[in-house]
Every structure is written in structure tokens, then in C-alpha cells.
Structure 1
Amino acid sequence: MAVMFRVLGPFSASLDDLPIDVGGPRPRLLLARLIVARGATVSVDALLESLYDGDPPPRATGTLHSYISTLRRLLEPGRAPRSPSAVLINRPPGYALGAHWLDAAEFTRLAGEGAHDEALRLWQGTPYEEFADVPWLRPEIERLEQACLGVREQRLAAAEPAPHVVAELESLARAHPLRESLWEALARALYRLGRQADALDALRAARRHLAEELGLDPGHGIQRLESMILTQDAALGEMVSRPVVELTRPPVKQERLVVGRSGQLERLAELAARVEGGRTGLAVVSGEPGIGKTWLAEEFARGREADGWLVAWGHCHEMSGAPPLWPWQQIVRDLAGRVPPDPAGSGALGLLLDDRAREEHAEAGEARFRLHRAVVGYFAALAADRPLLVVLDDLQWADAASLGLLADLARLQRGRVAVLITVRSGEGTGAMYDALAMVARGDALRLPLAGLDPGAVAELSGLDEAHAGALAERTKGNPLFIRETLRLAADEGLSRALSTVPEGLADVLRQRLFRLPEPYRAVLEAAAVAGDAADALLLAEALGEGTRLVEEALTA
């Protein structure tokens, strides 16, 4: 039986993937102390020192042995009486932790192999979260946090330059202003995006922080990079003339993209007119991956910018490791860079403006209330001058804190503010649906996107009616699927494209399939074998499942 411990966030233990309640704070702290020792023996005296903050009570040794006995029963339920423990090993003058799986060790292994995304997905918060104030744990917590920062930095430095990469590097550099390598990575990304002046500004900011906080000049790396940028050294790589195109945008001329979505744009324009008249507006665009949610939001935002609105975006990321309130940090920092908040109220915006800001002498609920009210007030102040559009993209990946702020914003916001949300249908957490329920109470405009009809597919693709109909049937009118199929058709012919799944599309479909519950996957595998003739009743009978589950799987 595999004993597993997770420390990259709230401390937890499990046995063969089944959670174990190991008891109160002290038994958990005991396990943490042995985990930190990495298999070495920890004396009884050292354990008592750690458990009781240097002041153990008279009967503490007996209590410690009681903890050990209880933990052994929980972690090794099948161990024979009086047989030696393989997990909590009695090794004079104390105890050691035997065979176990540890997420922190797995993180180190994956990071060493270059699997940065997999490694970062193991993180669920601050290491040893409930024991963050325990003095002897601080060095280990800081070591793990520095390791995580290093992996995030390596992943971003290796990524193709793009606006979201720059935004994340900027956030990390502000949070760790003395880490020169972050400023270097940020400057390189900015330069590759054609933002040479901004790249030099980033290096000047690094110089300023080092001089003001340490009285030092930057190292050779920053000095050399500054010289390379000034001379546009070819070793920096070619500049990217425009941001990398999002996967969800079909490769057709921009003016033709409105095909099939004019009705939704008209309804959003009506919402904008109400906002310009002084009312707060909320809209939720939903649909499957590739259906065009982000494109619709971009098209609406482009129109508002042309009308003189302030527009700011917050992108939620699927990858773990992003800080809490990450989409709102992007939005508020973008807006503050253009219209700084009133100095009297900017302090309440806290972490949304400065990663180093911390609430002191305040309960978490009180700090959250102050922050939410500050955001509402800042948005209202901006909207007093001109209308404001805030876009939250891919809400299904938002963290709990971001969802809480959205819910309060939907309830409290006043003035000429529009909030546009994009979200994948059928994905997300219970907290996300709670936030959307609060948005719905604000009389939100709901825009579920379906696939394009054959006429729109014909206009979009330039194919004749018969071939466009076949393409619409094959792709169900999904713009992403249409684009990938047309790309394959350009290389191998339309007949081949209509009978084959393009590789880029196959990756998307595999990702969707793996996210479904196992019973749904079994139904879909059977349906794939049956082909177009698949019938819910026949599939239910063949699989021994209820028709309701089969129907849910076929429409998932």
C-alpha cells in the first residue's frame, strides 16, 4: 500500500489515493518534521522541541509515543501486531520516515527532467500552508518556493514570446525585484515582441532596484544584454512582428470572421448602449473549445476601444502555479498603468497592484472586503470619465479568490462598467458556478455559442454548397475544427481532410476526452465503434448502463 504525502499547499496524507485524517495539528506537525528530515533519524528530544516550540510539558514523551502509535495504525492498517513499521521506523535515539511518495520530491524529479508544466501542476498553494509560521519549517518552505520560482522562470524563458508570457514575467519580476535573471528574461521577451524601449526600461528598473535596496550595480548578464538590445544584436533572435495568433481564430481574413456571429455582436452592442447610458452591464459567452468565445470578446472589445472606452483583459490560466487573483492583477495593473488610482485609495488595492503587499493586523474576511470594495470604487472612478469594459477570459480556470471578487463585483458595481466573461460549457468548479449564479442575478446577457450553420460555413470557407455542407457536418460548425480541416485540405485535398482527423484537432479532442469521467469515456469509445448509427438505447444495453448516463455522455 502506497503512503502519500502532499506538502505543496495544505498538508495532507493518503493511502493508495484515499485521504487519511491523521488528526490534529501536532500529529500533522510530527509528520512534517520527519518529512523534512528526508529519511534521517530525528531524536525524541528534537521531535519534542519541534512539536512544543522548545517548551514540552512534563508528559510530552508519552504523548509523542501515542501519536506515533496512532499514525502507524492509520498509515499501515494491514501491519501485523508487534511487527516493525515500514513507515514510522523506530531507530534510536528517535524515529525516521520510511518508504513514501512525496509531491515535493516528485516536483524535484519532474523539474530535473524539464517537465516544467507537470511539475508546476503539483502546486496547490504555499508549502506546508497551515504551518507557514513555524520557525523551523521556514527554511524548507523558502527552499521549495525558490525552487518553484526557478521552474516558472525556466518555463517562461523557454517559451515563445507572447503578451501573456510578458505579463507573467512582469509579475514575477515585481515580486522578486532583486532576481536579475527574471529582468533579463522579461527584457528578452519584450525585445522579441518588438518592444525595444520597454525592454530597456525593464533593465533600468532592475538597475534601480539593485542600487536602492543593495547599493549594487547589476551583474554582467544585465549589462551585456542592455548592450545587445541597443545594438539589436542578432544573437537575441528575430523580433516577432505581432502576437502569436490564438488557436481559436480561423485562418481567414479578418473581415470574414463576423460570419455567423453578427446576431451576438448586435446583442452585445445593445448592452454597450445601456452601459453608455449609465447602467452596469454583465455578459457571459459560453461554448465548447474552439467555438469562438475569445474571438467574439475580442471583436466586441475592439469596437469599444474604437468608441473611446477603456478596455482591460484578465486571462485565467489552466496551469497551476499562477498566484491568487491573477486575472484581476492583470486587469488592475493594466488600468493603473494608464489611469493611476487615487493615492488615498490605492493602498486598499493591495496585491492587485504590488505582489509584495500584505494585509497586516486584519482578519482574512476583513481584508477581502476592503479589497473588493477598493476594486469596485476604482472601476467606478474610471467609468466616471469614460465607459469601462473588463474581460475575464476562460473563467473555468479561475481561482477561488478571483471568483469571489467577480461575485462581489457583479453585486456591488455601479456606473458605466461592462464585465464580459468567456467560459467553456460543462467545465469549472462549484465555486465558479456560484459566481456565475451571482452574475446571473445582475440581469446578465447570456450568449451560448453554437456551431456555424452550413450557409455560414460556405461563406467562411469559400466552398460550394455541397462541400460546405459536408464540412459543416464533419466539424459541427466549430470554427477551430473548420480551420484545422481546411489547413489539412490545403495539403492533402478536401476529400482526405473530410475523412481524417487533423493532428492539431486530435490533440484538442484527446484533451477533452481525458477530462471526462471514466463512465463517459467508455460510452464514447463504444459510440466511436458504432459510428453514426450509434443509438442511446442500444449503447445502454450493450454497456449495461442507464440510458440517462449514455445520453449525458453523448452530449458532453
Structure 2
Amino acid sequence: MSRTEIELRIQILGPVRATIRGREVDLGPPKQRAVLALLALRAGRHVPLDDLIAALWAGQPPTRAANLVHTYVARLRHAVEPDTPRRQRTNVIVSVPGGYRLTVADDQLDLHVFRTGVRKASALRESGELESAFARYGESIDRWQDPQVGDLSLLLAEQDDIGPLRQEFLAAALDYVALGLELRRPDAVLPLAERLAQAEPLNERAQARVLQALTHIGQRAWAIERYADVRTRLKLDLGVDPGPELMAAYREVLDARPGVHQPPWRGPAPVVDELIGRATDLAAVCDLLREYRLVSLTGAAGVGKTALGLAAADELRERFADGVAVADLANVRTGPDLTRAVEVAVDEPPARGAGRADPLVHRLHDRKLLLVLDNAELVTDEAADLVDDVLRNCPQITVLLTSRELLGLPYEAVYPVRPLDVDAEPAHLAAQPALQLFARRAAQVRPGFRLTEANVEAVASVCRALDGLPLAIELAAACLRTQRLEALVDGVGDPLRRIQPPRRGVPSHHRSLHAAVHRSIELLDPAEQRCFTALGAMPAAFCLEAAAVADKAIAGEPRTVQMLLERLVDKSVLEVRHSSSGRRYRMLGTVHALARQLLREHGVDGEPPSVGCTCGCHTSH
């Protein structure tokens, strides 16, 4: 059987391996694998027996070294030609005078495929077909699973062939980066340029390409800082100053106009409209992102976590050479789906033919990126595992997470997002952020609407009834397209049912108050759901003792009730406040309305009764 018929494929530009018809072949112990590795590295050429012995045994080889090599070759022949009769297994590993030769077609060895692709890319570039050349370079470079060929280096530690092979990849990769810059595609080549510079810290051409890529995406300050680091290292390690190519790249940095280009943004973009009433929050979140690598924005349904998070990402975009990647996890329910959503967010649409099979952390390892995980509450455990893996293995990644539940990682900085302010002296009501938001949204559906002395109290009552929640206020204001303000004041008493204006262009869980609040219930386990439903019999504000009386579903054990209430706090279903009279809990009005609805569905009157609470907490709402 010929070598083409058995569909053999050999790979050495990553883990050294062989497959037949897609199934991996057992190549045996390390020294046997090393024989195949050296033959593949010199495929098509005569490899003397002495070279094989020297590659397997540095220094003093054993007396039976030649016999051992012959044995390894016999076993490899059986592995790569299993269906061929024993004495005819010479199609792939051929015996030649004094040694052996590996004979494979160009498409059977990844090194051959890489070299053929680079030659074609170079020819396309010479003929002026730059886009085709760029694609072909990319396909060829993707063949290298490990540019440092670590497995090959371990198997052939003393071989002089390894260094030139690495340089062969470096040269092709730098040509690819240069072509990407020529085609004004710096975003596409910057990650590779960063990896090359990290692997070759004293290679001035590699460092020059990074400076140019950073300059092309508008990261002039970062490029200047990078040049200073490289110059210092050249002086300390080699005792030399930067050469002409690096100096030319630095002059290009200095001559560039700052702020012309922005780092890329992938995924849902920031809100189109002005962020109202969040200037202090925005500044605080940006400060946290400058100091911590994981920042979580938590809060109740509809409080504005996504808008604040995207605004903060946009504010700090210039700090990240690889830009911002936003993964919307609103419809993600499993770990594999979470990983796929993040992979889609961080990678550009495929511009090259080869698929990407590297783990996520390998792709992110050298990127300077702000990763935004939005609406992560339904995959909290899975998100915690993914974020921990990314941050431990990718030193330049920062993660901003929005969720109704924090991840609980030890290095997580948490910023609770609160509803907009409503309460103020009557003379200052119109300046409150909640009322400003209502007025802005109302004017969009009823041109000419503005806050006046005649309507400010009514608008304030609507905003108070909706607890200052931005989503609820926007939905209520949208109702003015068909309702009078006076009718809306009455309607906010039953917000889940009566505030349902048509809404498009937003996630499904933001199209109605009911959808937004009900998503919170999806976070709860059965015991938490029973506790939440029982709280529908409570006032919106209550103490632990009152909850224990009301919550007959879990036998009223105070310690059990307290544990469940704390879990509801962690999931942004309840708020907790501490005072001299003890711990008190509070539900937002929209959340309380859902609890009462669920209680009615269980056959219990949903009107909140007095439950014999001695602390008087229910009288304060």
C-alpha cells in the first residue's frame, strides 16, 4: 500500500504526532519519536545513522546504539504502514546507504505545507496580489501550533536544526505582520506581533513591528513606553543602542498624530444615548478597572449595569492595545456555550482558511484586552471558572463583569450599582437623575414634554414607585405615547402588568419589567424560590423575625431563614441594611410585585398583611 493510500499525516510544528485517516498513531517512547522527528525535520534528505545516534544520545552513546536505532525504525515503519506486509514497509521510511530518508508528499507533512504556503504568499505579494498574499501567509502561520516547537526541542535537544526552524517561522511571521500593516490591518496582526516580540525580546525587527502596530491603532503612548523598555534591555543585555530599523519605527511613533485611531471594539457597542445620573458611578468603576483586573458590577434587574459597564469600557478603551471585547451572555446557560460566546467575542471573524483549535487562554495570553462579560448571572459558577483560568494565564487581560450575582473570587472588586436618586426637596426635584431620565425618554415619544411645576410631583411619584430603576422609568416614560401622565401614576401600582410598552432593539429580558424581574427568579434554587414566594406575604421592607413568621414553607427556623435571605441578597433579589435596631431587608417594588404574584399563583392572598412583627419594620415602607 502506498503512502498516499494510507493517508498518513505527520506534524512537527507543535506536538510531534502522526495520524492515519484522522486517527492518531502511537509513535512509541521518546527516543523512538525523536527518530521520526529528525527524519521529518530533514524530510526528503539522507539522514546518516551517526546523526540519528548523536540526536538520541548526547555525549557517549551506548555500545548497541546502531541496533537500537534500527529497532526504533522497524517499529515506526509498523506504526505508519500498519496494513503493509512487514518486508514491504519502506514506502515512508526508506533505507539509504548509511542511514534513512523520510519520503512523504508535500501535503503529508505540516512543515512542507507551511513552506509551500509561504512561497506562494511571497509570490502573490511580488505580483501585487496583497490581499491574497495576506490570507495565504495567515493560513501558513496557523500551521504552527507552537512557534517555539517545544516538543521538537525536547526530543532533539542538541540539534542545530531547531534554531533555523524557529527563525524560518519568525521571518514568515514578520513578513505577515508587515503586510498587515501595509494593508492597514493593524488590529489583525498586533496579537501575533506581541507574541513575536515577547519570544524574541532582543530581535529589533520584531520589536519594530510591535511599535508600528501600536502606532497604527492609536496606542502612541504605549509604543513610546515600549521603545524605552526595549532600548534599556538592548543596552543592559548586549551593550548596544537601537539599530536603524528600530530607530525608524520609533521615529514613526513620534511623527504619528495622537488619537487618530482607536483600539478595536468587538461585540455590542456602548449605549447610543447619554448616560444620565451616572457620572460618579462611571468615575468609580473606571478607577477600579485601573487598579484591579476583575471588576464586577452587581445590582437588581433593570438598574443599569450593562449601560454603566459599556460606558466604562468605552472610557478606558485607549488603555488596551487590543481593545474591548464584549460577550453578551443573556441567553447563555451552559459552560460550553459560555466558552463559545467568549471565543466569538475575542476573535475577529475568520479571515484565514485554517480553523482555530487553540484553547481560549492560549489565544488571549499575549493580548492587552478588556474583556466584558455582560449578563453573566445564569452561568455564575462557569463564569468564575473561566475568568479565573483567563486571569491566571493571561497577564494583560482585565475582566469587567455585569451580573446580578458576584463571582466570589478572592481578587474580585465589586461595585454595587444602585437605582437613580429620586428623593429631594421639592425645589430640587426636577434636577434628580431619575426625573431627568424620565423627561428625556418621555420627550422621545411625546415631543415637547418637559418637567414643569405642574407635572414634577406626578413624575416624581412615578419614579419613586419604580424605585428609581432606569429600565422601569424608561418603560414608564414610553407609555406616555398612548397614556396621560395621570393614568401612568395610577398604573405604577401594578407595574408588571400595566407597564408594557412595545420595545425593540434591546435584549429580550429588557423588553418588559416582568421579563427583567422574572430573570432573577431563574437564579434561585428551589429553597430560595420558596423563600422568595413566601416573602410576597410581607411588606417590601421587613426584619428577620417577620420573615421567619411569614415563611412557613421552611418551618420558620430563624437561622435557616437568615441563610436563605442572605443568598437572596447575594443574587440582588433583596437589599440588606444594618442599623442600631438590627438587620433589615428590603425588596424593590418591582421585585415585591413578582413575589406577590407568585404567592397568588400558590393560592394565597397577595396583599401584604401585618404578620405580628414586633420590630415595626413593616410600618416604615
Larger RCO (alpha carbons 8 Å, 6+ apart): 1
Q: TM-score, normalised by structure 1?
A: 0.48
Which of the two has greater helix per residue? 1
Larger radius of gyration: 2
